[in-house]
């Protein structure tokens, strides 16, 4: 199996999964969102809502592998981690904080089995192996 079909499946999975909570949170009505004047500052902003620094880095690394920057902007440019961190403060999405934290811990646990201290410290190929294991339901 080549890497490309896996990447496409991951993108579709992530896009579908991300859309459901957003639709539920929005309640199918339009609302004004605050605009960041400096998008680089927003993207590089340290954790502060729900995620601690280690969780932020683990999620940042995972998102960068799932939605890489190519001809189109990736997760880093879209500030996906900042969005998720902010959404975890809402009542609708915040109920999943414990499960979300457990998932990030699992990524770091699998990274330690690969010989790194954290998922973010793994080389890209090893990060893909860990994400592939999770995708296949392996522990």
Q: Do 129 and 117 contact (CB within 8 A), yes or no?
A: no
Of the two residues 110 and 5, the one the predictor is more confident about is 110
In tens, the pLDDT along 72-94 reads: 999 999 999 999 999 999 999 98
Q: Copy the structure tokens of residue 53.
A: 């620094």
How long is the chain?
A: 139
Whether the per-residue pLDDT at 57 is higher than 80: the answer is yes
Whether the per-residue pLDDT at 121 is higher than 80: the answer is yes
Of the two residues 50 and 2, the one the predictor is more confident about is 50
| Cα–Cα distance, 45 to 122 (Å, whole number) | 22
What angle is formed at CA 91 by the lines to CA 86 and CA 95, rounded to 5 degrees? 90
Residues near 112 by beta carbon (within 8 Å), at least 6 away in sequence: 118
């Amino acid at each position: 199996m080549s890497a490309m079909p896996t990447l496409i499946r991951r993108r579709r999975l992530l896009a579908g999964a991300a859309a459901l909570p957003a639709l539920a949170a929005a309640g199918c009505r339009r609302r004004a969102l605050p605009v960041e004047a400096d998008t680089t500052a927003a993207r590089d902003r340290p954790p502060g809502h729900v995620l601690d620094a280690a969780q932020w880095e683990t999620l940042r690394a995972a998102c960068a592998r799932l939605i890489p920057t190519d001809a189109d902007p990736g997760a880093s440019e879209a500030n996906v981690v900042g969005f998720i961190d902010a959404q975890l403060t809402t009542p609708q999405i915040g109920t999943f904080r414990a499960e979300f934290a457990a998932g990030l811990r699992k990524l770091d646990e699998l990274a330690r089995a690969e010989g790194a201290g954290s998922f973010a410290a793994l080389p890209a190929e090893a990060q893909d192996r860990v994400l592939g294991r999770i995708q296949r339901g392996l522990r």
